[in-house]
Structure 1
């Protein structure tokens, strides 16, 4: 889990291994929300697919 901190003295937010202004942090958060939505949509579609791979071992015993 990435570290996110607010430095009250300088008024910046530390996220994604860099210092950000409030506007930059808002844009970063919006990007993360979009990525999470895309991931959630893909997982939903994968769950509906008859070809979805399970997380268990394959017939030969190894995991994907």
Structure 2
């Protein structure tokens, strides 16, 4: 009887861990998307800066 109770606890624990894992994966994906967007914005800013500097050099 103790054995059955242990496996039930383990099953519950696994289901909780899986839902936490899903949330962690979702958070990690969101973080990756945000990081990518920030990197692209930074790249655009650097390209604008470069463009401004090139225009200054031509004048």
Per the normalisation by structure 2, the TM-score is 0.51
Per the normalisation by structure 1, the TM-score is 0.47
Aligned to 1:46: 38
Q: Aligned partners of 1:25, 1:48: CA distance in 2, in Å?
A: 34
1:22 deviates by 0.3
RMSD: 1.9
Per-residue CA distance 1:24-57 (angstroms, 9 max, x = gap): 0000000000000000000000000045xxxxxx
Alignment of 1:7-26 (within 5 A): 12=10, 21-26=13-18
Structure 2, gaps ≥5 residues long: 1-5, 46-59
